[in-house]
Amino acid sequence: MSIKKTITIGKKTNQPITINRFGYGTMQLTGDLVWGEPKNRTEALQILKSAVNKGIQFIDTADFYGPDVTNRLIAEALYPYPSDLVICTKVGLSRSSDKGWRPFNTPENLRKSIERNLKTLKLDQIQLVHLRIMPNTETPFEKQLETMFEMQNEGKILHVGLSNVNPNELNVALKMGHIASVENAFGYRQRTTFKVHGQEYRGLEGVMPLCIKNEIPMIPFWSLQNSLPKNDDKISVIADKYNATSAQINLAWLLHYNELLLPIPGTSQLKHFDENIKAFDISLTDEDMKFLG
């Protein structure tokens, strides 16, 4: 069973970007609780350089990782950037002094975030920005997205995407403008919406029909989390069959599940990065996928 090796962001626009269908998420490069500098700065920089050297063309970051730690690492490791590298960031959140997460989604704050991302990443335009949706905040969703499209028209953003979105919000967004990608929680063991520490994480499963209908690339976060009851037996059986790790089979499952999925597994260890990227070359059969479910 072959997989599609590339994916196109902004396919229906006049500036589509086609990249390899395996990315890297930088969140784990920070300190504990996504706060502060990495425990091993040298290794963090090595991972970023290795990613590009091994064909990764999509790096996911955010100015609230650290805060601003992963953006600085990316610039230090990779600037000037390869012409085929897409750096995707997120806005809509910020960090509090107690290391918590808070909404940062008024029009003024969204603009501040974009300007901070541009400055730290040393870019004139960010190729893809996800608006991270925090449910039940004061600023209406439509007002947030309107600001994103305004900044796109100003040339600060090339493509606009959504993160943590539900079906109703995605339907509204599609009527307002082009949505280039959706980044929600999704993995073999966690496909639907769930809550952790009072925060709601929307699953890709709920918006997947809309994304498929509109050919919107789907970027899963928490793809290697074990939030549902474990089904290790099936993963282990397939892992043994291919002499692979459980993480590799989880990622291979994503790649085979739907060709619009763009995995971005993160890690702070070069060894695990090297293992994860090998999932791109694992070919699961139809029988394997049926067995995994």
CA distances (Å), 255 to each of 15, 21, 53, 138, 283, in order?
Answer: 25, 8, 21, 37, 9
* Residue 9 near residue 212 (C-beta atoms within 8 A): no
- The residues with which 59 forms a beta bridge, in sequence order, are 24, 87
What positions carry a catalytic annotation? 65
CA distance 149 to 244: 43
- The residues with which 86 forms a beta bridge, in sequence order, are 58
Residue type for position 150: E
CA distances (Å), 99 to each of 32, 33, 34, 96, 102, in order?
Answer: 10, 7, 8, 5, 10
Nearest to 200, CA basis, from 59, 95, 103, 64: 103
Residue 166: CB atoms within 10 Å: 18
- The residues with which 182 forms a beta bridge, in sequence order, are 162, 218
Task: Give the ranges where 202-281 is alpha helix by DSSP (H).
Answer: 208-213, 232-241, 246-257, 270-277
Token pair for 159: 């493509």
Residue type for position 93: L
- The residues with which 102 forms a beta bridge, in sequence order, are 94
